[in-house]
Amino acid sequence: MKCPEAVEWMHRYLDHDLNEEETSLLFEHMRSCEECAETFALLRKLSAQLEDLPKVVPNYSLVDAILPQLDEIDRARREGGSAAEEIVLPMTAVQRDADAGQGGMLPSRRSLRRPDAGTGMRRSRIYRYGALGVAAVLILGVFIYQYEPRTVSDAEIAMDTALESANKQSSATNSADDAASNAQLFSDDTNTGAPGAGDLDTPVSKDVVPPAEDPNTDGTQERIAPGDAPDSGSPAVTPGNSGTSDKSPSEPNQANHGSSGSPSVPNGGSNGAPAQGPTSPGAGNSDSAGDPETPDILENSIVDQQVTFDNPREKYGIASFNIWTSPDGAFEAEFKDGHLYVYRLEAQERKLVADQVIDGNWVDGSWSESGHIFTYETEIEGTPVIHTLYAEQAAADAAKRTQP
Amino acid sequence: MVEQGLIRAAQTGDRDALITLLREIESHVYRTAYYILNNEQDAHDAAQEALIRIYTKIGSYEEKAQFKTWVQRIVTNICIDKFRRNKPTVSIEEHEMVFQGNDSVEREVMSGYLAEDIRSAIEQLPDHHRSVVVLRYLQDFSYNEIADSLNLPLNTVKSYLFRARQQLQHLLQDYQKGGVSG
């Protein structure tokens, strides 16, 4: 027997794991091996001391101490709704049978409780899956919602390019209409702006053409920075204009179409200018529609606009729609709060010459060429009524009144 | 040794039998807890927790295992979990107290180790080594019973126990030298 093996046997001896034969072999070895004998003496001493460790007992009854808790567990089990029992339930199948035998009440209790617990669990599971499903649908919905607009806008662009060539011819006429409507839209401004410019004939065309022309030069030919667009004073056209300059980098072909027309909104502008050309007295403007020198005209138009805006009453964009200045700048008509006021414009102030109550809905009004007659249209119960106001006469009447 | 009949009665829902059963095993449960945790209060808490668990899970006990090994498995698991939480503070304090209280060690050495030293040496052992020693010496368990209780292979139990004894010897010799010199 070798020493390491002997040590292992010593341990086994101490643990009562050696049979008689092994025990005698071990002791035989130790008689001849002093070292092993010493090791064994120490081990036996340790083992004896370990066995002599005091058999401690709790200094109070642990079971008595936990009896309230045990009662609580029993009550929870009886009530059946406790989470504690739900945890215990799967592991105590034997005990459930045991419960049946414990008392007469128990089987009925169990038969009552089990279906409830079963349906309750099933119901809660259904709710849980339902909630998960709802959550999934919501998340999916968010993705779809966020994804869709991009698809639509892409489709728009695709559609635009597809229609682009097909609409080349037809868009020319359409855009001519657009330009005409633009001209109508700005005609009021034109009228008011004209006296400021001091020229009765050319400013009309100048003011009409540049807003229509600007998109043309910006979008298709010169590609002036979008920042210039607001200066042109045509907010209705500007969004389409800047949209063109946004689109064009992604579609290089668009630049090739050049003055012949690019799709949708800018189209109206680009073709609008030549269409406007023949009708407007200012021939130079219409000629320069396709001209590289258009920036100059643009600047002119800006100057004109600025001149127009020098009139203090023209600063208030929307309000100016209800104010009409006569072409000669002598009178001003204003529709306000159901009244039509006509003023005579003098050096720094305006003098009220007429105040007419307007029945029905206000439709529109305009000055005559001479600037002495203001014609306006109202609508009473669906029927348009044309009224005429003689400003000179009213002014003379007013002058008489103030000088009795 | 708990009667098999009492266990069966407790398993069939006899609450009195179950309470009686708990009273019979409570000191065994407490002793293991005490020697694993080396702290009276922790031992009480752990033992109570073990008894409650035995009360609620008595139905899951199967007779193919010995009841006492089933009980000891529950208590050692609770203690090891609990001990791991408390170990850092408790063990250091206890260790220092042992060194300070070694005035009479020279006389005591001749007759053997102090019970207190042994307890604190046991506490120094790794969890499973400590559990093996406690079950072997405080519960008089055989290798097989320890293996069943701790869910360890038999050879592992043997090697843990042998190594635990050697470690205890080293630790106790260190304590003695420390006591003599100090």
* Higher pLDDT among residues A326 and A208, named by residue: A326
Interchain CB distance below 8 Å, A91 and B142: no
Whether residue A122 is found in the same domain as residue A175: no
pLDDT of A45-70, one tens digit each? 999 999 999 999 999 999 999 999 99
Whether residue A187 is found in the same domain as residue A285: yes
Whether residue A232 is found in the same domain as residue A114: no
When pLDDT is averaged across residues A202-215 and rounded to a whole number, the result is 43
Q: Is A357 on the interface with B (CB under 8 A)?
A: no
Structural domain boundaries, residue A81: 58-91
Model confidence at B48, in pLDDT bands (50, 70, 90)? very high
- Is the pLDDT at A376 greater than 80? The verdict is yes
Q: Which amino acid is at A5?
A: E
pLDDT of A277-289, one tens digit each? 444 444 444 444 4
- Is the pLDDT at A303 greater than 80? The verdict is no
pLDDT above 70 covers what percent of chain B?
80
Task: Please tell me the distance from the alpha carbon of residue A71 to that of residue A66, in angstroms, as a whole number.
Answer: 9
Task: Please tell me the predicted confidence (pLDDT) of residue B84.
Answer: 61
Task: Please tell me the distance from the alpha carbon of residue A230 to that of residue A29, in angstroms, as a whole number.
Answer: 111
- Is the pLDDT at A129 greater than 90? The verdict is no
Q: Is A319 on the interface with B (CB under 8 A)?
A: no
Q: CB A178: neighbour CB atoms within 10 A?
A: 21
- Is the pLDDT at A40 greater than 90? The verdict is yes
Whether residue A275 is found in the same domain as residue A372: no
Task: Please tell me the distance from the alpha carbon of residue B40 to that of residue B38, in angstroms, as a whole number.
Answer: 7
Model confidence at A152, in pLDDT bands (50, 70, 90)? very low
Query: What are the C-alpha distances in Å from B34 to residues A22, A75, A233?
Result: 35, 31, 93
* Higher pLDDT among residues B6 and A402, named by residue: B6
A13 → chain B, closest CA residue: B162
Task: Please tell me the distance from the alpha carbon of residue A215 to that of residue A239, in angstroms, as a whole number.
Answer: 10
Task: Please tell me the distance from the alpha carbon of residue A13 to that of residue A181, in angstroms, as a whole number.
Answer: 115
Task: Please tell me the distance from the alpha carbon of residue B178 to that of residue B180, in angstroms, as a whole number.
Answer: 6
Model confidence at A321, in pLDDT bands (50, 70, 90)? low
Model confidence at A390, in pLDDT bands (50, 70, 90)? confident
Whether residue A189 is found in the same domain as residue A243: yes
Query: What's this model's pTM, rounded to 2 decimal places?
Result: 0.44
* Higher pLDDT among residues B91 and A347, named by residue: A347
Task: Please tell me the predicted confidence (pLDDT) of residue B55.
Answer: 94
Q: Identify the weakest region by mean pLDDT among A129-143, A375-389, B19-33.
A: A129-143
* Higher pLDDT among residues A297 and A277, named by residue: A297
Interchain CB distance below 8 Å, B137 and A98: no
On chain B, the residues whose CB falls within 8 A of the CB of A49 are 112-113, 115, 118
Model confidence at B166, in pLDDT bands (50, 70, 90)? very high
Whether residue A280 is found in the same domain as residue A328: no
Q: Which residue among A49, A66, A93 places its CB closest to the CB of B48? A: A66
Interchain CB distance below 8 Å, A63 and B158: no
Interchain CB distance below 8 Å, B143 and A17: yes
Task: Please tell me the distance from the alpha carbon of residue A263 to that of residue A164, in angstroms, as a whole number.
Answer: 5
Which CATH fold would you assign to the domain B4-181?
A: Butyryl-CoA Dehydrogenase, subunit A; domain 3 (1.20.140)
Task: Please tell me the predicted confidence (pLDDT) of residue A254.
Answer: 42
When pLDDT is averaged across residues A298-320 and rounded to a whole number, the result is 47
Task: Please tell me the distance from the alpha carbon of residue A146 to that of residue A133, in angstroms, as a whole number.
Answer: 20
Task: Please tell me the predicted confidence (pLDDT) of residue A293.
Answer: 46
Task: Please tell me the distance from the alpha carbon of residue A348 to that of residue B174, in angstroms, as a whole number.
Answer: 113
Handedness of CA A194, A199, A200, A206 (dihedral sign): negative
Interchain CB distance below 8 Å, B23 and A61: yes
Q: Which amino acid is at A404?
A: P
Identify the CA nearest to B34 among candidates B138, B117, B115, B121.
Answer: B138
Model confidence at A380, in pLDDT bands (50, 70, 90)? confident
Task: Please tell me the predicted confidence (pLDDT) of residue A402.
Answer: 64
Q: Which amino acid is at A302?
A: I
Identify the CA nearest to B25 among candidates A91, A71, A58.
Answer: A58
Task: Please tell me the predicted confidence (pLDDT) of residue A300.
Answer: 52
Interchain CB distance below 8 Å, B51 and A53: no
Residues β-bridged to residue A324: A333
**Number of domains, chain A:** 5
When pLDDT is averaged across residues A360-370 and rounded to a whole number, the result is 82
Task: Please tell me the predicted confidence (pLDDT) of residue A396.
Answer: 81
Whether residue A76 is found in the same domain as residue A46: no
Identify from A12, A47, A95 which residue to disrupt to test chain B contact, counting B C-beta atoms within 10 A and taking the largest count: A95
Residues 35-54 of A with CB under 8 A from B: 42-43, 45-47, 49-54
Judge whether B133 and B32 are in contact, CB under 8 Å. Answer: no
Supply A19's token pair.
């049979």
pLDDT of B55-69, one tens digit each? 999 999 998 889 999
Whether residue A220 is found in the same domain as residue A304: yes
Helices A264-279 & A168-197 angle (0-180, nearest 10)? 60
Judge whether B52 and B26 are in contact, CB under 8 Å. Answer: no
Whether residue A249 is found in the same domain as residue A161: no
Whether residue A235 is found in the same domain as residue A130: no
Mean of the per-residue pLDDT values of chain A: 62
* Higher pLDDT among residues A375 and A100, named by residue: A375
Domain final residue pick, A247, A281, A313: A313
Whether residue A303 is found in the same domain as residue A374: no
CB–CB contacts below 8 A, A to B: 121
pLDDT of A214-241, one tens digit each? 444 444 444 444 444 444 444 444 444 4
Interchain CB distance below 8 Å, B115 and A101: no
Whether residue A176 is found in the same domain as residue A235: yes
Q: How far is B55 from chain A (nearest CA, A)?
A: 8
DSSP class of A58: -
Widest CA span in chain B: 61
Interchain CB distance below 8 Å, A55 and B31: yes
